[in-house]
Amino acid sequence: MNEVVRPEAARPTPVSSGDARDRGGKAQPILTAENLRKYFPIHGGVLMRKIAVVKAVDDVSFMVLKGESLGIVGESGCGKSTLARLLMCLTPRDAGSLVFDGDPIGGTSGLSLRELRRYMQIVFQDSDASLNPRLTVEDSIAYGPRVHGMASAEARALARDLLQRVGLRPELFGMRYPHELSGGQKQRVNVARALALNPRLLILDEAVSALDKSVAAQVLNLLRSLKRSFNLTYLFISHDLDVVQYISDRVLVMYLGQIVEIGPAEAIYRRPMHPYTRALLNSRLALDPRDRVETAPLTGDPPNPINPPSGCRFRTRCPFAEPICAKAAPALAKWVDRASHVAACHMADRASGHSRAGAAPPPLARHVRPEAIVSG
Amino acid sequence: MWLYAARRILLAIPIAVGVTVICFGLVYLAPGDPVQTLLPPDASQADVAYLKQVYGFDKPVPVQYLKWLGRAVSGDLGTSIQTNRPVLLEVTRALSHTLIVSIGAVLVAFPLAIALGTLAAFHIGRGLDRVATGISVVGVSVPNYWLGIVLVIIFAVQLRALPATGMGPEGSDSFDVTRWSQLKYAVLPVITTATVPLGIIMRSTRAAVAEILSQDFVQTLNAKGLGRIAVLRHAVRNALPQMLAVMGLQFGYLVGGSILIETIFTWPGTGFLMSKAILTRDIPLLQGTMLVLALCFVAINLTVDLLQTTIDPRIKRG
Amino acid sequence: MTDASFPLSLPSGAEDRFAAAPRGYWHTVGRRLRYDYVTLFFLLVVGLIALAAILAPLVAPFDPNKTSMLYRLKPIGYRGFLLGTDELGRDMLSRLIWGGRMSLTMGLTPVAIATSIGGFLGVVAGFAGGWVNMLVMRTMDVFYAFPSVLLAVAISGTMGGGVANGLVALTLVFIPPLCRVSEAATTQIRTRDFVEAARASGASTLSIIFYHVLRNIMAPVFIYASSLISVSILLAAGLSFLGLGVEPPTADWGLMLSTLRQSIYVQPLICALPGVAIFIASLSFNLVSDGLRQAMDIRV
């Protein structure tokens, strides 16, 4: 089940010109992140001084285009969740800038945090911890609009409407408490709550990772249909490659706090350029018992984010590492449009001095088979 | 680990300092002029002036505090107004008497509480557990001063088997625990004092052991066929760090909170000293006693803290 | 939404069959309590004590302060004095009922005030974090360094005794533990995702505290406070016993215990009675608070 067929292929849903809040038009990215950085201090010693830093997000830059679904993949500890919080401004960034549809976030002339909250929302991984156990589902959803000034009765009506749209009957579920719901239902409530503020960009941080596969599939389908009806742009973070492949138009791969590859989903999954992406894809298990992997494609644990290796951070686990990789860190080439496919690897850079520089990336070890259609 | 110990000790110092501040500040809570409370009512003008100068009451409060602290650190806690003896001497003497009862109560209550608590945890939900829980609830709710009176009524008044008050005719200076004629004076105070810790420790032991027993690895042990004894050993070893904290705290309360029981039995310990000091408004004695008791409490807690970490390195706080 | 081959929800009939009427939190608590006979029984006892205390003037058979040289230290049931008389000839039952008023007040008031102050400080410390948190909690630690009896006696003793000073002393004794519980609960709640989600909705800190945090910490704080009531009753009576609380001739259980002590060789039973009252009150509050804790500890 290494490939799914989707009727829409790589074409994202167009942003309707009727969206009154659209400022820059189709060509302007909805979100631009530049040189984002977040280091966490570590305290130790007798007086608990700062003795080291964890470089959770290190100089990350990318753009999210309007109407697309951008997937972010990486292993645990690569910084994806920290990145999500930085984008939502829930965690203050140490450096870098964020621009939403042409308006800078923060600063004196840009969007205030409060305004930003109406444009960007987030759904967290833990569906249970995301809901106040002492509030009914309806109250939880209605809270956001009320904070921004909506009248209580109106907010409740909105909450009920949203419940309906995420597939939960409001008469049945509105007055329930979170502990009376299943995981999938709770996550739908979280989606409804995020949509209550009518955002334009929705960040989903491992939103289906904690759910059973069948339930996850339902929620994913829900997300896809909501995207159309609400005119949303998605940023979908996950460690599950299959899920990201299913829902994303473009994919961004992270490793140890940095971006290593960006490109259209199909390109990434069929012809990955970066050795890390290749290894990740090779380590997916197939449903066919005959399709076995003999050697582990990726060995060891990721190195310590406190002291990453010099030069290219992946070189300690890379089968193609050469001396040049330790000396200079490869830069992510500038990508031009939604179809560009770039990687931060010396092999992709003709002028790097790597022996394989400029050559076609080696094929995936796995035999890619046409698979049964999972879903439409 | 020594790093952790050093840090804990370092943290205890500001607390100790805070304690001294409170003990010192008590004088100012007393209604009236602090100098008057420190002197007998018939003091002459010269005495008042002298005391003002010695204690530095003519100086600002922080300076007074530092002077008092300086004297306290070097062992001079002032002189008792009532007895005219140095406070430190009175307090240490009284403390030794309190410790007789406290340690006695520890010896009686702690092993019994641990045994009953463990037993209750093994039979949780069943008859034995309910009885044990009942005992512990009673132990926690009973006013121990009342219990003392009841025991006195039963054993001293009705049965005339044990003495009602005091430390015995031989006096308190040469109390010999090995002789019944003297030991019998300690019996009722010890039993009374033991009740509340019995209740509390039994409840904590039961909770701690029950929690361990409910964990998966105990099922593994049982599945492997290991007998009750092995499980018991395991449970106790894992519960010990938590238990240590509770026991240490209780011991601290026994030493520091003995005032009510000592009043009933006229046992000349630190608590009795304090109640005397309050009655006679002997502020230096009150301050000194409080200071010693509170610092003992801090020291006991610190010791328990460090002991806990040696036994179970997982418990590291802060 | 017709493209999904996995249905978004079960066909409409099925869900109705499985769905139960949604139940509120308090409803569930009440339901659990209904079968906890021990707690219910002691709740009744607490209610009776409270009722007797409130209706003292109506319920007490005699004037609690009326002394009589004739009827001193009479045994139980003597001539209409249902529980005998004390050393000054006053009816024990009436004094116990009136004493309940005093003891309950001294038991409940300090806890109530300390919950408000300590709870507030705890929330502030828990939410602010940083040096504010350190300042508040370290100050509480200093008070924690004293055993409660010692602190209560010392404070009320130096202030000169009396009811007001006793109340102040007890309140000061209870503020640190309540502050600690409140701070711990707040810190734990503050890091949970739904608080983050509330922040992500754009809510101000004040709104988050009042709408989200408070209703989540109320339960542990309330339960802890209720367990302190029995301690407060014991301590208050203890203070009166030492002569530091209520002053004679006011009826109060602790004071009665103290004044009757000299008479244990004459009427031992009567002398033990005030203590029985203290014991029953303390025990009842203890068991009720335990039962409440178990009932409220639903997986939320």
Give the pLDDT confidence of C71-97 residue by residue, as tens digits.
777 777 777 677 777 777 788 888 888
ipTM of the complex: 0.81
Is residue C123 pLDDT above 60, yes or no?
A: yes
Closest to C203 measured CA to CA, from A203, A191, A196 = A196
Is B265 touching C (CB cutoff 8 A)? no
H-only helix segments in chain A: 80-87, 113-116, 137-147, 152-165, 170-173, 183-195, 213-230, 241-247, 265-270, 275-282, 323-327
CB neighbour list of residue A68: distance below 8 Å, 6 or more residues apart = A12, A233, A234, A249, A250, A338
- Mapping DSSP to helix (H, G, I), strand (E, B) and coil, where does residue A289 land? coil
Quick one: pLDDT at residue B37? 59
Q: Per-residue b/e over B287-308, b at no fewer than 16 CB within 10 Å?
A: bbbbbbbbbbbbebbbebbeeb
How far does A298 lie from chain C, in Å, by closest CA?
A: 33
Quick one: pLDDT at residue A48? 67
Q: Which of B138, B253, B278 sits opposite C153 (nearest CB)?
A: B278
CB C130 within 8 A of CB C120: no
Is A13 touching C (CB cutoff 8 A)? no
pLDDT tens digit sequence for A116-164: 888 999 999 888 888 998 889 999 999 989 988 889 999 999 999 999 9
Query: What percent of chain C is predicted at pLDDT more than 90?
Result: 17
Closest to B191 measured CA to CA, from B235, B161, B217 = B161
pLDDT tens digit sequence for A192-239: 999 999 999 999 999 998 888 899 999 999 999 999 998 899 999 998
For B272, nearest residue in chain C (alpha carbons): C242
| Nearest-10 crossing angle of helices B87-122, B127-141 | 160
For A191, nearest residue in chain C (alpha carbons): C197
Quick one: pLDDT at residue A186? 93
What is the number of helices (H) and of strands (E) in chain B? Answer: 13, 0
A214 CB neighbours in chain C (<8 A) are 6
Quick one: pLDDT at residue A6? 43
Quick one: pLDDT at residue C108? 92
* Residue C278's pLDDT band (cuts 50, 70, 90): very high
Q: What is the DSSP string of C38-81?
A: HHHHHHHHHHHHHHHHHTHHHH-SS-TT---STTTT--TTBTTB
Q: Which residue has the tokens 């939960």?
A: A168
Beta bridge partners of residue A235, listed in sequence order: A70, A203
C158 CB neighbours in chain B (<8 A) are 26-27, 29-30, 278, 283, 286
pLDDT tens digit sequence for A257-292: 899 999 999 988 888 888 888 888 887 777 777 777
Sheet holding A95-100, edge to edge: A49-64, A31-44, A95-100, A103-104
CB C275 within 8 A of CB B149: yes
How far does B309 lie from chain A, in Å, by closest CA?
A: 16
Quick one: pLDDT at residue B55? 57
A46 CB neighbours in chain B (<8 A) are 3, 6-7, 10
Tell me the HSE value of B288 on the side-chain side, using a 13 A CA sphere.
30
* Residue C12's pLDDT band (cuts 50, 70, 90): very low
* Residue C14's pLDDT band (cuts 50, 70, 90): very low
CB A306 within 8 A of CB A52: yes
Chain A interface residues (partner B, CB cutoff 8 A): 45-46
Q: Average of pLDDT values for C144-152?
A: 87
Alpha-carbon distance values, B131 to B112, B121, C142 (Å) = 14, 12, 38
Least confident of A201-210, C53-62, C290-299: C290-299
For an interface test with A, the pick among C8, C26, C296 (most A C-beta atoms closer than 10 Å) comes out as C8
pLDDT tens digit sequence for A166-175: 989 988 898 8
How far does C108 lie from chain A, in Å, by closest CA?
A: 27
Quick one: pLDDT at residue A45? 64
Peptide bond into C249 cis (omega under 30): yes
Quick one: pLDDT at residue B226? 67
Quick one: pLDDT at residue B174? 62
Residue scoring higher pLDDT (A108 or C25): A108
Residue scoring higher pLDDT (C179 or C64): C179
Closest to A133 measured CA to CA, from C285, C13, C188 = C188
Average pLDDT value for chain C: 82
Is B125 touching C (CB cutoff 8 A)? no
For C149, nearest residue in chain B (alpha carbons): B257
How far does B61 lie from chain C, in Å, by closest CA?
A: 18
Average pLDDT value for chain A: 82
CA dist., res. B227 & res. B236, Å (int) = 15
- Mapping DSSP to helix (H, G, I), strand (E, B) and coil, where does residue A189 land? helix
Contact C22 A147 (CB under 8 A): no
Q: What's the distance, Cα to Cα, between the start and end of chain B in Å?
A: 13
Is C71 touching B (CB cutoff 8 A)? no
Quick one: pLDDT at residue B13? 85
CA dist., res. A173 & res. A136, Å (int) = 9
Query: What percent of chain C is predicted at pLDDT more than 70?
Result: 89
pLDDT tens digit sequence for B157-187: 777 777 777 776 655 566 666 677 777 788 8
How far does A268 lie from chain C, in Å, by closest CA?
A: 25
Is residue A189 pLDDT above 90, yes or no?
A: yes
Q: Which residue has the tokens 């500038």?
A: A334
Query: What percent of chain A is predicted at pLDDT more than 90?
Result: 27
Query: What percent of chain A is predicted at pLDDT more than 70?
Result: 85
Is A88 touching C (CB cutoff 8 A)? yes
CB A251 within 8 A of CB A244: yes
Contact A375 C4 (CB under 8 A): yes
For B7, nearest residue in chain A (alpha carbons): A46
Quick one: pLDDT at residue A121? 93
Q: Average of pLDDT values for C173-185?
A: 92
* Residue A188's pLDDT band (cuts 50, 70, 90): very high
Is C159 touching B (CB cutoff 8 A)? yes
What are the tokens at A36? 């984002």
Q: Which of A116, A121, A225 sits opposite C3 (nearest CB)?
A: A225
CB C149 within 8 A of CB B256: yes
pTM of the model: 0.80
pLDDT tens digit sequence for A7-22: 443 344 444 444 677 7
Q: Average of pLDDT values for C245-252?
A: 82
Quick one: pLDDT at residue B278? 79
β-strands A342-343, A258-264 pairing: antiparallel
B274 CB neighbours in chain C (<8 A) are 150, 153-154, 157
A113 CB neighbours in chain C (<8 A) are 202
Is B280 touching C (CB cutoff 8 A)? no
Q: What is the DSSP string of A96-146?
A: EEEEETTEEBSTTTSB-HHHHTTTEEEE-S-TTTTS-TTS-HHHHHHHHHH
How far does A53 lie from chain B, in Å, by closest CA?
A: 19
What is the full per-residue pLDDT of chain B (318 aa) written as tens digits?
Answer: 677 778 778 888 888 888 888 888 876 766 666 566 566 666 677 777 776 666 556 666 777 778 778 877 777 777 776 677 788 888 888 888 888 889 989 999 999 998 888 888 888 777 888 888 888 888 888 888 888 888 888 887 777 777 777 776 655 566 666 677 777 788 888 899 999 899 999 988 888 888 888 777 777 777 776 667 777 777 777 778 778 888 888 898 888 888 888 888 888 888 888 888 877 777 778 888 888 888 888 888 888 888 877 776 665 554
Q: Which of C6, C24, C200 sits opposite A117 (nearest CB)?
A: C200
Helix (H) or strand (E) holding A40: strand A31-44
Is residue A23 pLDDT above 90, yes or no?
A: no
What are the tokens at A164? 């309906």
B6 CB neighbours in chain A (<8 A) are 46
Residue scoring higher pLDDT (C288 or C85): C288
B27 CB neighbours in chain C (<8 A) are 158
Interface of C with B in 263-292 (CB under 8 A): 264-265, 268, 271-272, 274-276, 278-279, 282-283, 286-287, 290
pLDDT tens digit sequence for C205-219: 888 888 888 888 888
CA dist., res. C161 & res. C155, Å (int) = 9
How far does A106 lie from chain C, in Å, by closest CA?
A: 14
Contact C196 A124 (CB under 8 A): yes
